[in-house]
């Protein structure tokens, strides 16, 4: 690959990415990490699960990003009485001619905001599986392709238990990233207070078209990942499955199931996208480290012993990253 040529392309496209950041920052204050993860999802086409307590602007961030992209955007507020047809669509009977016609649901869009996804029962959550993985939806006896690009950005509230349903593991694994949204700092919250306690309208300009987004994704395909970085990714993932082979005996009784092969693919993609956001045409081990928690935290299932000892997947990932030799 021509690293220099790719570096020039990234430099040319950096202005567009920076304009996108600026538009989102008109509304979102102090969530740079969250915005970076949303940009990584855009570049790679991966889905994102946002977890945080109410009031941290998770929904607002996704809506603002959609406005800045000028793409089709739908929001579904997940509730316990939601049906799968409310997401994917259904067949509508016409009494005039006695025929059924398909009625496409809100999943037929570019950006789908699944708000409080853990409030819907398993049937509804599973209705998203085909859409998220195959980018297609079956209604009746026909299969319909979804628009390009298509991303699911879901939010969930970790503190409420009443009226919530745990996401099926098969669906959780289909989210490329799980981002923990934390409270803003005191200075950021002061800026939020000064900016949004008066009645004002913030105009968000469209700065990135679907064609330009496709150009960014083509550039990402040219970002280089060295074989040593690839081996580093494999070591991290396999350490979650066979920790004893990596001198991590203490983790053997704490990990019930390690990360799936999707973790390997997504670590590679996300590390290259992170490098691209930093203006580089090659991924480094540091890129892998920066993105590892978001890719792995929802793919490591803990044993009962780990939960009893209050060991979290975050601590396990920290241990693995501190132990695996960096190339």
- Check whether residue 207 and residue 242 sit in a common domain: no
Closest CA to 111 of 61, 152, 156, 58: 152
Whole-prediction pTM value? 0.87
Say whether both 273 and 192 belong to one domain. Answer: no
What confidence tens digit (pLDDT) does each residue in 297-319 have? 999 988 888 888 888 889 999 99
Summary mean pLDDT of the chain: 86
CATH code of the domain covering residue 231? 1.10.8.80
Q: Are residues 204 and 228 in the same domain?
A: no
Q: Look up the CATH number of the domain holding residue 38.
A: 3.40.50.300
Report residue 100 as tokens: 């059924």
Domain count for the chain: 2
| Listed residues 154, 187, 214: the one ending a domain | 214
Half-sphere exposure of 245 (CA within 13 A, CB side): 9
| CA-based torsion, 143, 145, 151, 153: positive or negative | negative
Question: What is the reported pLDDT for 161?
Answer: 60
Same domain for 54 and 134, yes or no, is yes
* Domain-ending residue, one of 170, 190, 214: 214
Residue 229 and residue 186 in one domain: no
231 and 274 share one domain: yes
Whether residues 138 and 242 share a domain: the answer is no
The model's pLDDT over 182-235, given as tens digits with 9 standing for 90+, comes to 888 889 888 888 877 777 777 888 888 878 888 889 989 999 999 999 999 999
Structural domain including 302 reads 223-323
Measured distance CA(302)–CA(287) in Å, rounded? 26
Is the same domain home to 261 and 280? yes
Tokens, residue 314: 């975050």
281 and 210 both lie in a single domain:
no
Query: Is there a single domain that holds both residue 46 and residue 170?
Result: yes
- Residues 147, 10, single domain; the answer is yes
Q: What is the pLDDT of residues 164-177, one digit of tens each?
A: 677 777 778 889 99
Q: Is the pLDDT of residue 163 over 60?
A: no
Phi-psi region of 190 (alpha: psi -120 to 50; beta: other; left: phi over 0): alpha
Picking from 194, 214, 234, the residue at the C-terminal end of a domain is 214
Are both 165 and 282 inside the same structural domain? no
Q: Count CA within 13 A, CB hemisphere, residue 145.
A: 3
Q: Is 94 exposed, middle or buried (0-12, 13-18, 19+ CB in 10 A)?
A: exposed
Question: Structure tokens of 186?
Answer: 């005191």
């Amino acid at each position: 690959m021509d690293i220099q040529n790719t570096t020039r392309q990234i430099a040319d496209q950096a202005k567009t990415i920076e304009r996108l950041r600026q538009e989102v920052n008109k509304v979102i204050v102090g969530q740079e990490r969250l915005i970076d993860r949303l940009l990584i999802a855009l570049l790679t086409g991966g889905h994102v699960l946002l977890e945080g307590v109410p009031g941290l602007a998770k929904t607002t961030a996704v809506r603002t990003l959609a406005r800045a992209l000028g793409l089709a955007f739908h929001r579904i507020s997940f509730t316990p009485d939601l049906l799968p047809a409310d997401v994917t669509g259904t067949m509508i009977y016409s009494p005039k001619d006695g025929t059924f016609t398909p009625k496409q649901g809100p999943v037929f869009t570019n950006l789908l905001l699944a708000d409080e996804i853990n409030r819907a029962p398993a049937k509804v959550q599973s209705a998203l599986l085909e859409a998220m993985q195959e980018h297609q939806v079956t209604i009746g006896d026909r299969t319909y392709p979804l628009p390009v690009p298509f991303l699911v950005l879901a939010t969930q509230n970790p503190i409420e238990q009443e009226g919530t349903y745990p996401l099926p593991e098969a669906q959780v694994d289909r989210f490329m990233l799980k981002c923990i949204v934390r409270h803003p700092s005191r200075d950021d919250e002061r800026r939020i207070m000064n900016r949004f306690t008066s009645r004002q309208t913030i105009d968000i300009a469209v700065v990135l078209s679907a064609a330009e987004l496709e150009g960014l994704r083509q550039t990402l395909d040219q970002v280089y990942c060295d074989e040593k970085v690839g081996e580093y990714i494999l070591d991290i993932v396999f350490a979650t499955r066979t920790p004893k082979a990596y001198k991590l005996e203490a983790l053997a009784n704490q990990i019930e199931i390690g990360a799936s092969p999707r973790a390997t693919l997504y670590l590679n993609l996300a590390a290259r996208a992170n490098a691209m956001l930093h203006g580089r045409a090659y991924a480094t081990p540091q890129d892998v480290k920066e993105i590892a928690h978001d890719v792995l935290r929802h793919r490591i299932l803990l044993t009962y012993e780990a939960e009893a000892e209050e060991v979290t997947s975050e601590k396990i990932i920290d241990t693995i990253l501190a132990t695996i030799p960096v190339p």
